[in-house]
A and B are shown apart, each in its own frame.
Chain A
């Protein structure tokens, strides 16, 4: 749980260095897959609105490069984040000009 908060705390939004972004995204993916399915909902509830938006951004970034099991866990996270953030959070992922 704390790992999730920590990895969401300083997202590499303003950097132009693609390496930094890739490393952050890989780390995020590790954290997300380390969660048990039953804990996902609690973790999403513990985030504030900005956190949910940020989580959505990472989820969609993760969808872009699917590895063997990642899509399944990402979809579970997506479902819970959607019920927390609503369609608006997805719109914000699409319109955000600074990607994570």
Chain B
């Protein structure tokens, strides 16, 4: 409902605190800025400077109030608020390529980092040594891990990777938790076990066209953890239901590839990407089908003015059509690709507000209302 343009740089990643009054984001450089909401304005209150490379992932743990950041300098830092200052703790990930994404587990006793060195680092805190230790999940990942999402049982982890597959791994660490009960994805869960692997963009029974696939950009578990959705670079969105192997329903969308996805109820999800507006998808569990629910961006109606004869000929010359319906600029609120969606209120089961950030600035949306007010505040840094 409100559009806040933080800066002119792309926002690489963002994360909200528990009561949604503060947002931590990376303005495409080595720092993390924390902004606090003050009425309708945003004030920068902290700058976390420790990384030597661009910060590619931020996650703010709501309960324990710690922030984990990871960056292209192959490191991750866990930040804790001591008084008024955020103090970093280095976590050695033992990776030799950049880290790409990071996510706290639901119980916040461990976090997972996806990286370009074709592995996922699961890090947990060892009390005796007062140090974060990490374990690697290597097989069978063949390329960069682009996105991660934890299952609500704190053990299963979904990872989307550039080798065109979306997988569910077990990240069970016996030092910090007990054995988990069986889920629809499987019952035996030793560390690093692959419980599910998607075929390349599984279009089932198509005329051989489903054998393409694309990089898996975004993954998301549903609130119950029984469903997993992922978006891929070949403009498809797919949902798999745990327990029944190969019930993968996917939809080849007509838009440019979607970069991020999030469940907002058990049956619907919102996704956004290179097309610069969020879209809604509805999943029908009984029929196993995904349908396009509509765009969630209602732009202001620009006034229709008639075009002169001269413009008609100019259009004909430049664009080979003489109609006026050409988009000089994007009609959506975001002016560049959207790279991340986060749910603000309602959780993944009944989301009422979610936030999108992209290569141009930050935004908030409200799901379920159909009118959006467009306020534009620029904040010079």
Contact = CB atoms under 8 A, between A and B. Distances in A.
B207 A86 contact: no
A9 B208 CA distance: 9
B243 interface: no
B234 A49 contact: no
B207 A51 contact: yes
Interface in A21-64: 49-51, 53-54, 57
Interface in B206-224: 206-214
Interface in B242-264: 252-257
Given A87-B255, A88-B253, A91-B234, A50 B213 contact: no
B206 A88 contact: no
Interface residues of B, number: 22
B254 A14 contact: no
B165 to A, nearest CB: 13
Contact of B212 (A8, A9, A96): A96
B233 interface: yes
Contacts of B189: none
B127 to A, nearest CB: 46
B65 to A, nearest CB: 41
Interface in A49-100: 49-51, 53-54, 57, 85-89, 91-92, 95-98
Contacts of B257: 91
B235 A11 contact: no
Interface residues of A, number: 22
Given A86-B254, A95-B214, A9 B207 contact: yes
A13 interface: yes
B146 interface: no
A92 B207 contact: no
Interface in B182-210: 200, 203, 206-210
A58 to B, nearest CB: 12
B255 A88 contact: yes
A79 B270 CA distance: 29
Interface of A: 8-9, 11, 13-14, 49-51, 53-54, 57, 85-89, 91-92, 95-98
8 contacts: A50-B206, A54-B209, A85-B254, A91-B233, A92-B212, A92-B234, A95-B213, A98-B212
